[in-house]
Structure 1
């Protein structure tokens, strides 16, 4: 009974007078063009998912202290077709859309691990592409107390591997951060969370080494 009550309270918090952030507004703005067609894949490597959480797990929303799992479903309420989408696919699509906004030709692909350089060359040749961007998701997790407007935690750890056709691995770099993100009283928690996602991806892809690897 108590669990049912918490779910009802959380549902009211999600829908209370705030328009869900449109998915296209969740895409990072990447202000440069990749030099060749890019294949993008995100590898699921988060400890909580390995321990049994579903692959669309996003983080914890605490209602009166009790943690409830929120998934990509809560982050994409404005897009009914996104229901059940994995976090890997969600991130890959956001990254791809950001690169496309800079004028690049981009294709999302499934990834279960980092390819060898020889494997990368084969995949790139088969898809008439020049760059394979593999993102290993080791942490992408929020923890929010829904009962007060303050700061919420957002922990992230992504490893970016950029491989070029005929050149092998040109970049392998990890970005790890633990943030306390300030909430705003007139926004919903899912909107604030996806805004933090967008800002983090923009920060990563504005890195000089990442830009050089993709646009060089």
Structure 2
């Protein structure tokens, strides 16, 4: 439930970190962990995906590992969980880690590399109404937050988890015949601009627009 970087640098960790946001049975196991004062009698449950493949590149064998971990906070099904809550937790927060290592990595002779990225719902108060009759439900901005407090809490949490700088890759549409995602894009841009006003240059949020749908049409 922790990234490779965290496991390597956390030399003081002796027990399973059940308070981690990726452990789904934290609450259920709390009584027995408190009584036993350890984590030996419980199993941490993580909702995610794991895949490892072996590749040969120019005769050199390497292993590629892909691990996804889904946060237990503000999780739900598509359309029914969107946006951010008052605590700064976004819907369906998923951390994905890609690890590349040589076959000799276990013997400390090979080399290893790891990259972590996070995806989640846009950190604003918005929603969609699921309907069988509409494949593209309308988007509603539920609440206007003039100081973007929940959005700020979200990025403060990311800074604590991953450090600076925070790079935001915004994939939603830039042009639509009927404005849907465009409204959300504009409000998100305003939120980031507002938060950056009070941040030093080295901590400013880096906002990148990349219309994924427009790019995908080329292929």
User: TM-score with structure 1 length normalisation?
Assistant: 0.28
Q: Give 1 or 2: higher helix fraction.
A: 1
Larger radius of gyration: 2
Q: Which has the higher strand share?
A: 1
TM-score, normalization: structure 2?
0.28
